[in-house]
Structure 1
């Protein structure tokens, strides 16, 4: 569909939320649309200061290539500010890109999304916007959330004044670690809405660098539900291959060979068939639980139970890996040093939200292990927050170390949990010499050179293969 010539021209964008989605997305839009002024606003002064830091290595989000994009656009047409209402008032288009965590109490606790920040954004837009403002849902939201946003905006104009609002859904489909590539060359851009001219105004922005055939237009509800569904399907594949990994270990099959065999089937394809410690990140578990809650709300109990099992199996996989390690170390890890290689939920990110390492490490700490954790991008402060305790010495405690060698010093085992590339290039003879024998490598990512580790004298367990 060609752009509608009657669509409003967007010259100023305001994005509420300077996090993992808002910051990189707006940076790429500013980079590719140099005639559009883009301002990212947030009430967190420290976060905004970090986005404005002269040293681009201090950006609050780590993504390969992000620093170069910010360097090109910041100060030209990309800005970061805490003046929220001022920039909403000046904007033709406002993106809502705030956190929607799972509720921890009240109706739907443990499954439903907490929409307090989305509602707060809608009310702020209703108060500050001027003229015709296109409001774009960028946060991952339950289907039909736009109804609430529309109601709040409509209440701001009870008598049909000069202000007018159009609400669109434009969910993100970013994979952390490759977000810039995903933004610059997306599989698709999805725009849902009921106002054709507003849809085309947003489509025109993306058309600056995205081919028209990749810009999909739907109604609001289909767009909102598509994001939850995409994440559910991807997470389902991870749980599915991990279930087969456990069976492979029991039967002496090799999950990597099984994945390659089934992945060559064009109906299945090879992606997301990598066995590991399970999915993590900010979206998969949250979105599936949200889908479960919505299905139960609409009386679809069997559908809810189906998707709930995807999360249950993911948690089981993490517990299983911890139990395998304990069993192999003679049934106890109390007082034993375990080197943990990686803590972020995946490589090339500093994000630890719902990281499999959290549950696995907590299990080991509860059993009295002493953890020596190395991750190139995760801070000690973040480790303490995720593990619920400060670093320290002694049984059931942990401390951060700067490299693999120190993680291995005095350790009975190394546990590889994040697929950082340098973990594939470990000097195993040197590392094995630092460990207490008999020593183990537990590779939950099938990333390390298992043959080299065995040649150096280590026992090796690899996910989906077991001990060879």
Structure 2
């Protein structure tokens, strides 16, 4: 919405939410305190907020005056009931549709922006249609469009300003053209694709599934490289130069995370089973199974390298967000790996330049432990963790440093200084292949790099 406001100064945009605290944060004068960190976002907010971009908790009022409404709420995987563990929970989408049906006036275009399973538009259309039972009294009419987002966190602004494509699915060409004209203010017409609404919904799930599949594929090869003496970076370069394959999403790492990949694949699995395609479901489910295996593989490898036990050993964790240039930790590999290490009794010292101590505590389900109180869980042999804002302090006295997020500052660490403060023999576990190998070895540290069999 910030990008649309920037590119279309004649359009007034209001972002609404039932969470007033969240809205207050978006109206925060100090742009450093915005709820989401995304490179370039604060500049857009500063330029447009109060001009044609507004944040409000007055939902009814803003629905009434809207010509177009984007439904952009969360669609998490269901935790219980029919389809639990795979199907998307659409309760927030339904709640939004009911609010729109109740408060909208005149003609309104409703746009699915959330990542949704195929046929969700049918649910929205039915709810909206129910509000039109007496057209003479209500004077309401609606069109529903699907307009999924294909951006990546960390490069979201760039992805929006120069997209590979904009996808709009719908049944009414006039409604499609109205939304197309908004994007056409900065996106070439040839990049704006029109489909039916079901193809648009499925395209988003499929795109995420294909990207996640590439990540699981190259991570499976990284394990084979380690076993055979090959280098996954060299293998990636070799196959990525093939035009039929391409080089994108062939960087090995600790596994995919974020709000979409796992959720969308599981949704695809559920839909495939629902429509009687168990072989298709099994194929896509294997992508998430391998991702989980890979994350636990890294945890086990750390324990193995540290003489088979990490009880009361200090391990420095560098990076907790699921990728660099975001403070998003949803489905982050760091959560799984850190929980594994805590189960083994380790004392974790965690650093991340953008993720807060409060968020880490929420994700791990364990409060941090002050140094003087450690160890705190002797009876069950469960470890503890502490947060540090300085890398050198975080690594001091540690047996190992584990790089889990590809933050740029981790690629320029002075390993000679780090090595002096670590307990010998010391290890560096680089799951992102971003540290300078020669500098780590020269500092007298042992190095394990994902997919490096040398």
TM-score, normalised to structure 2, is 0.97
Pairing partner for 2:315 from 318, 329, 338: 338
Structure 1: segments with no counterpart, 5+ residues? 1-25
Instruction: State the alpha-carbon separation in 2 of the partners of residues 275 and 406 from structure 1.
Output: 28
Pairing partner for 2:30 from 37, 55, 61: 55
Partner of 2:108, secondary structure, is strand
Structure 2: segments with no counterpart, 5+ residues? 376-381
Pairing partner for 2:412 from 421, 425, 428: 425
* Over 6 Å off, 4+ runs: none
Pairing partner for 1:401 from 385, 388, 391: 388
Partner of 1:20: none
Partner of 1:101: 76
- Between the two proteins, the alignment pairs up a number of residues equal to 442
Partner of 1:461: 448
Instruction: State the alpha-carbon separation in 2 of the partners of residues 278 and 403 from structure 1.
Output: 25
Pairing partner for 2:403 from 416, 439, 446: 416
CA offsets per residue over residues 236-284 of structure 1, 9 Å max, x none? 0000000000000000000000000000000000000000100000000
Partner of 1:158: 133
Instruction: State the alpha-carbon separation in 2 of the partners of residues 159 and 130 from structure 1.
Output: 13
Instruction: State the alpha-carbon separation in 2 of the partners of residues 206 and 387 from structure 1.
Output: 40
Instruction: State the alpha-carbon separation in 1 of the partners of residues 293 and 37 from structure 2.
Output: 29
Partner of 2:251: 274
Instruction: State the alpha-carbon separation in 2 of the partners of residues 359 and 403 from structure 1.
Output: 23
Deviation at 1:194, TM superposition (A): 0.2
Matched ranges for 1:315-334 at <5 A: 315-334=292-311
Instruction: State the alpha-carbon separation in 1 of the partners of residues 389 and 13 from structure 2.
Output: 38
Instruction: State the alpha-carbon separation in 1 of the partners of residues 134 and 199 from structure 2.
Output: 30
Is residue 218 of structure 2 the alignment partner of residue 231 of structure 1? no
Is residue 139 of structure 2 the alignment partner of residue 139 of structure 1? no
Partner of 1:217: 194
Is residue 42 of structure 2 the alignment partner of residue 67 of structure 1? yes
Is residue 325 of structure 2 the alignment partner of residue 348 of structure 1? yes
Pairing partner for 1:193 from 155, 170, 177: 170
Instruction: State the alpha-carbon separation in 2 of the partners of residues 195 and 314 from structure 1.
Output: 40
Pairing partner for 2:5 from 5, 27, 30: 30
CA offsets per residue over residues 156-203 of structure 1, 9 Å max, x none? 011334110000000011100000001111110000000100000000
Partner of 1:127: 102
Partner of 2:425: 438
Deviation at 1:108, TM superposition (A): 0.4
CA offsets per residue over residues 210-245 of structure 1, 9 Å max, x none? 000000000000000000000000000000000000
Is residue 345 of structure 2 the alignment partner of residue 358 of structure 1? no
CA offsets per residue over residues 113-165 of structure 1, 9 Å max, x none? 00000000000000000000000000000001000000000000113341100
Partner of 1:244: 221
Is residue 51 of structure 2 the alignment partner of residue 76 of structure 1? yes
Instruction: State the alpha-carbon separation in 2 of the partners of residues 428 and 360 from structure 1.
Output: 23
Is residue 364 of structure 2 the alignment partner of residue 387 of structure 1? yes
Is residue 87 of structure 2 the alignment partner of residue 112 of structure 1? yes
Q: Which moved more, 1:388-397 or 1:378-387?
A: 388-397
Instruction: State the alpha-carbon separation in 2 of the partners of residues 54 and 182 from structure 1.
Output: 26
Instruction: State the alpha-carbon separation in 1 of the partners of residues 222 and 436 from structure 2.
Output: 19
Q: Which moved more, 1:403-412 or 1:309-318?
A: 403-412
Deviation at 1:451, TM superposition (A): 1.2
CA RMSD of aligned residues (A): 0.7
Pairing partner for 1:264 from 226, 231, 241: 241
Pairing partner for 1:39 from 14, 17, 35: 14
